[in-house]
């Protein structure tokens, strides 16, 4: 079993839709949960992070962690064509740490 | 210049060539990383340097050789690569003991012919 599972997509939605991106994981020791966004021909950039369980909101983005189910989600409200990118989940044991494990990334297309 | 800068952006090399990838970070971070990104696969951690000391080598073939001369610069020396080594090579930096996550460079797209 992979440590982190993420559906690679692609996921195609119309502009304005609510997008849900998800990852499951197997290591219950993970404490930090991150979402990176990667545009074409660019490196990933940190979008959001949460510590332990719960929700975190930043504008149109909401990150959710359910440690009991080992399941994390990223919701994008009122999706825009500029949100078209690959979204990678990542999780680790400590901040800025060595043991960060990434998902394969979900390719998202938002159609105008 | 700020952030993490990688050069070159694109590289095509033959299997008998020797080349080097360069990474420079201007963030004052104390750890630097090389990752390999292949299509539809998770990022693969190759090497980790903390305070210029290599702290992790993730079973990477010896045809990849890292070098970290100081806390701001990281190199990946390549020789006698195989076609399956074609991928996007990403450099990242982070601050251990503070801050969350990595700052990545834009990567070097490597094609081995």
Position B78 pLDDT exceeds 90: yes
Residue B96 is predicted with a pLDDT of 79
Position B90 pLDDT exceeds 80: yes
Q: φ, ψ for residue A8 (rounded to 5)?
A: -75, -10
Whether residue A97 and residue B99 make contact (CB cut-off 8 A), yes or no, is no
Q: How confident is the model at residue A1 (pLDDT cuts 50, 70, 90)?
A: confident
CA dihedral sign of residues A67, B30, B95, B102: negative
pLDDT digits (tens, 9 = 90+) for B29-47: 999 999 999 988 999 999 9
Q: φ, ψ for residue B83 (rounded to 5)?
A: -55, -30
pLDDT digits (tens, 9 = 90+) for B42-65: 999 999 998 777 777 778 999 999
Q: What is the CA A83 to chain-centroid distance, rounded?
A: 13
Q: How many CB pairs under 8 A join A and B?
A: 70
Position B19 pLDDT exceeds 80: yes
Whole-angstrom CA distances from B90 to A94, B36, B60 are: 21, 6, 15
Position A16 pLDDT exceeds 80: yes
Q: Which residue has the tokens 């692609």?
A: A10
Instruction: Report whether A112 contacts A81 (CB < 8 A).
Output: yes
Q: What is the mean pLDDT of residues B100-109?
A: 93
CA dist B99 and B31 (Å) reads 12
**Exposure string (b/e) for A21-32, b if CB count within 10 Å is 16 or more?**
bbbbbeeeebeb
Residue B98 is predicted with a pLDDT of 66
- Residue from the list A2, A46, A96 with its beta carbon closest to the beta carbon of B95: A96
Residue A10 is predicted with a pLDDT of 94
The answer to whether residue B105 neighbours chain A at the CB level (below 8 Å) is yes
């Amino acid at each position: 079993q992979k440590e982190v599972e993420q559906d690679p997509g692609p996921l195609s939605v119309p502009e304005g839709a609510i997008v849900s991106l998800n990852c499951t994981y197997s290591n219950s020791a993970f404490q930090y949960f991150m979402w990176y966004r990667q545009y074409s021909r660019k490196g990933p950039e940190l979008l959001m992070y949460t510590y332990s369980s719960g929700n975190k909101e930043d504008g149109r983005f909401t990150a959710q962690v359910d440690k009991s189910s080992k399941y994390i989600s990223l919701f994008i409200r009122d999706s825009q064509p500029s949100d078209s990118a690959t979204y990678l989940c990542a999780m680790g044991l400590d901040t800025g740490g060595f043991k960060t494990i990434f998902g394969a990334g979900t390719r998202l297309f938002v159609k105008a | 210049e700020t952030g993490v800068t990688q050069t070159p952006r694109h590289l095509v090399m033959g299997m008998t060539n020797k080349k080097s990838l360069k990474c420079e970070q201007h963030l004052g971070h104390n750890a630097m990383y090389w990752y390999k990104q292949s299509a539809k696969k998770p990022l693969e951690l190759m090497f980790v340097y903390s305070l210029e000391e290599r702290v992790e080598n993730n079973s990477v073939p010896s045809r990849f050789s890292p070098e970290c001369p100081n806390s701001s610069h990281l190199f990946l020396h390549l020789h006698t690569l195989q076609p399956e080594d074609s991928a996007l090579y990403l450099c990242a930096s982070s601050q251990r003991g503070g801050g969350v996550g990595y700052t990545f460079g834009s990567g070097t797209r490597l094609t081995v012919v």
